[in-house]
Each structure stands twice: as structure tokens, then as C-alpha cells.
Structure 1
Amino acid sequence: MNVSVSSEIDLETRKARAVSLTKIAVRRLAEIGVGAKVMGSLSAGPFGEHSDIDLLITDCPRHLKYRIEGIVEDCLPGFRFDVVYLDEIPPHRRHRFLEKVTDAGDLR
């Protein structure tokens, strides 16, 4: 197998793992009443070797903010991630974030 084919398979495997783990993370967050969407390269592509996983928290009881990042970290071993809270984005910029999000269940 040549290097480029091997690299493509590794990236496909990495993305498949990222999708699977992200779905688990979003489901675990939903279980505690937190709404989350996926954004960034996992949502819009291309998801590469150095890509992180970006989550937009759309609905969250304030007292759970620290717990959220712990859940995400536990669910995404081996991946860097960013958690962005919709209520912390200035109102005039929220539309830019919301137009580029995906439900975890729609990830492929």
C-alpha cells in the first residue's frame, strides 16, 4: 500500500472515530439537559490529521458549565476539542455560528 492510500485510510478511520465519539458526547450532554451542536471541520469538512472537535453549547443550565467540559473530555480521548457557549457569543455574531452547525446525528 502506498503512503497516500495509507494516509487516506488513517484519516478516514480518525474521522469515523471522531464522529462516533462526538455522537456519544452529545448524547451524554443531552442526558443532563445540555443542548450541543457540532461545528468546524467535523461538521463542514475537511476533517484532517490535526483537526479538533468543536462543539457549540446551545442550551445549558449555568451550573453545569464546568461539568460539560469534563464530560466532553471523557468522551473524546485522543482528540483536542473546543467548547463554545452560545450565550457567551455577542448577539450580533450568533447567526454566523448557528448557520454552520450540524446535529451530531447527521454526522457522517
Structure 2
Amino acid sequence: TAPTYVDICHRAALMYAFACLVLQQLALHSRWNDTVNLWAVAVPIVFFASAVLTYAIHGVLKDTDNQLQRPHKLGTKTLPTAMIRVYMLSLAAGEIGGLSVLLAGVI
């Protein structure tokens, strides 16, 4: 069997691909101008890509089966808890915020 994060990377990439199609359709029907729609789509996609990249790195390194478990490992290094917290809060805000802007533009 594949390492845990190789499986997670694969599944997440498939789900994020579908999410990108949803964002695209929302942007097409949004009443906001192109610049607003671009940012509302780009921010979540950047976070989607960064999440998949993180999963791939953990899969290659085989360093954890839970990236949110303390201490936060990346290979032989330990990442600061504050860094992980800020990243996760930014990810949630970026993904939810982008979707919210697009939904507001459609409704």
C-alpha cells in the first residue's frame, strides 16, 4: 500500500479538481467584475495547490500520518506550531472567503 499522504494527496487532488470546476462556474455567473472574480478564484486555488503539495511532500518523506499532530514534522525538522496555525487559518479564510465572494456575486 502507498504511504498515508500519497493516498491523501491523490484523493485531495481529485476533490480539488472538482472544486475548481465549481469555482469556474460560479465566476462565470457572478455579477462582480473580472478582477474580483479572478481573486475570488485564484486565492482558493493557490491554497488547494499548496495543500496538495504539502501532502505530496509528506508522502515522499513518509514522515507522518497526521500533519496536524504535534510536534509538526517535516522530514527530520520540527515546524513551529504557530506557523501551522497561521497557515491553517489562512487556508480556511482564503477558501471560504473566495467561495463566499463568488456566491454573493451569483445570488
Q: If you compute each CA radius of gyration, which structure gives the higher value, 1 or 2?
A: 2
Q: Which has the higher contact order (CA 8 A, sep 6+)?
A: 2
More helix by share: 2
On whether the aligned pair clears a TM of 0.5, the verdict is no
More strand by share: 1
TM-score with structure 2 length normalisation?
0.40
TM-score with structure 1 length normalisation?
0.39
